[in-house]
Structure 1
Amino acid sequence: MSFKVAIASSDGENVNQHFGKADHFLIFEIDDGNYKFLESRSIVPSCGGEETIDHTREQTMKLISDVKAVLVSNIGPQPIETLIANNIVPYMTSMNIDDALKELISLKKFKD
């Protein structure tokens, strides 16, 4: 089973950004226990900026609507609810991207 994951990272090496402060997400594809980087998708952070938080969060959800999980260093309760309502699983972690993806692959939820 193949699926995509969005990762909030400021350095491309670690999961180290808050969901609402990320200005881009790194998109990875996981397939049969392996993963590969696909692309970087730029967004307007929902915490700050000129647009309203709700509008910006809606844009973020559209941008990552094809992913099954989002890995972030931190996330608030309302974005968690929004992600879950859109069938996207939020994960908070602060490890390097390789280790975070390996941990995600090991979870039973993503093996089926």
Structure 2
Amino acid sequence: MRKLAVASKDGVAINLHFGHAKEFWIYGCDDDGCRLLERREVDHYCHGQHGDQSAMQKILATINDCEAVFVAKVGDGPIAKLAKVGVTAIDEYAYEAVDESLQSYLSGAS
């Protein structure tokens, strides 16, 4: 099973900036599709022009078992930190529906 994290306000669309997420929706995906496994709470990372590095470390630990995190927007710094723990930041599906976006990603990434 492949795990994907999503930054979402409502679980319907990928509609949160990485640094503004207070939780990530974790989906498990296999040949039968994707399903919500859990919602994992995190500390707010972005505080204007600077990020809370302690919060970043907790976010990395919270989603490091996921292969990718889907976000509406993400900065270069977080992208690099995520990559170091093996998580790909994806913003190509910003503001699109979660289910369709995950399926689209998986069909191209498999």
Please confirm whether the aligned pair reaches a TM-score higher than 0.5, indicating the same fold: yes
Alpha-carbon separation, structure 2, partners of 1:67 and 1:14: 19
Give the deviation of 1:44 after TM superposition: 0.8
Q: What is the CA deviation profile of residues 32-70 of structure 1, one whole-angstrom value per residue up to 9, with x for unaligned ones? A: 25111100011111013xxx6111100000011110100
Alpha-carbon separation, structure 2, partners of 1:33 and 1:53: 38
Between 24-33 and 8-17, report the one with greater CA deviation: 24-33
Which residue matches 1:81?
Answer: 80
Q: CA RMSD in A?
A: 1.2
Identical pairs, percent? 30
The answer to whether the Cα contact below 8 Å between 1:6 and 1:25 also exists between their aligned partners in 2 is yes
Alpha-carbon separation, structure 2, partners of 1:68 and 1:32: 16
The answer to whether the Cα contact below 8 Å between 1:33 and 1:105 also exists between their aligned partners in 2 is no
Amino acid at match of 1:98: D
1:26 aligns with 2:33: no
Alpha-carbon separation, structure 2, partners of 1:78 and 1:106: 28
Structure 2 residues not aligned, in runs of 5+:
none
Amino acid at match of 2:26: I
Amino acid at match of 2:21: A
Give the deviation of 1:105 after TM superposition: 1.1
Aligned residues: 105
Alpha-carbon separation, structure 1, partners of 2:40 and 2:68: 15
Q: TM-score, normalised by structure 2?
A: 0.90
Q: TM-score, normalised by structure 1?
A: 0.89
The answer to whether the Cα contact below 8 Å between 1:27 and 1:41 also exists between their aligned partners in 2 is yes
